[in-house]
Amino acid sequence: MRKLSIYFISLTLLVLVAAGCSKAPTVEQEAATSAMAAATAAEAETYAAESMQKARSAQQAFEEEMKLQEGKFALLRKYDAATALAQEAKAAAEMAAQQAVENKNQMRQELAGMIQETRTLLTEAQGMLSTAPTGKGSTMDLQVMKSDLTAAGTTVDEAQALLDQDKLADGMAKVQAARTTILSVKTSVEQAIQMKAGARKSG
At 29-60, the pLDDT tens digits run 999 999 999 999 999 999 999 999 999 999 99
Last residue of a domain, one of 103, 135, 170: 103
Q: Are residues 37 and 55 in the same domain?
A: yes
Q: Are residues 150 and 189 in the same domain?
A: yes
Q: Are residues 7 and 49 in the same domain?
A: yes
SS3 46: helix
Instruction: Give 194's pLDDT tier (boundaries 50, 70, 90).
Output: confident
Q: Are residues 126 and 37 in the same domain?
A: no
Q: Which domain holds residue 142?
A: 105-194
Q: Are residues 96 and 112 in the same domain?
A: no
Instruction: Give 180's pLDDT tier (boundaries 50, 70, 90).
Output: very high
Determine contact, residues 142/129, Cβ cutoff 8 Å: yes
Mean per-residue pLDDT for 99-109?
A: 96
78 C-beta neighbours (distance < 10 Å), count: 15
Mean per-residue pLDDT for 1-16?
A: 49
Instruction: Give 20's pLDDT tier (boundaries 50, 70, 90).
Output: very low
∠ Cα 22 4 20 (to 5°) = 10
DSSP 3-state percent helix, strand, coil across the chain (nearest 5) = 85, 0, 15
In-domain check, residue 201: no
Count structural domains, the chain. Answer: 2
Q: Are residues 56 and 116 in the same domain?
A: no
- Cα separation, 128 vs 88, in Å, equals 58
In-domain check, residue 200: no
Determine contact, residues 182/117, Cβ cutoff 8 Å: no
- pLDDT for 7 equals 46
Last residue of a domain, one of 75, 103, 131: 103
Q: Are residues 160 and 114 in the same domain?
A: yes
- pLDDT for 58 equals 95
Q: Are residues 78 and 51 in the same domain?
A: yes
146 pLDDT above the threshold of 60: yes
9 pLDDT above the threshold of 80: no
Q: Are residues 79 and 123 in the same domain?
A: no
- Cα separation, 124 vs 126, in Å, equals 5
Q: Which candidate, 118, 190, 184, 194, places its Cα nearest to that of 147? A: 184
- pLDDT for 65 equals 95
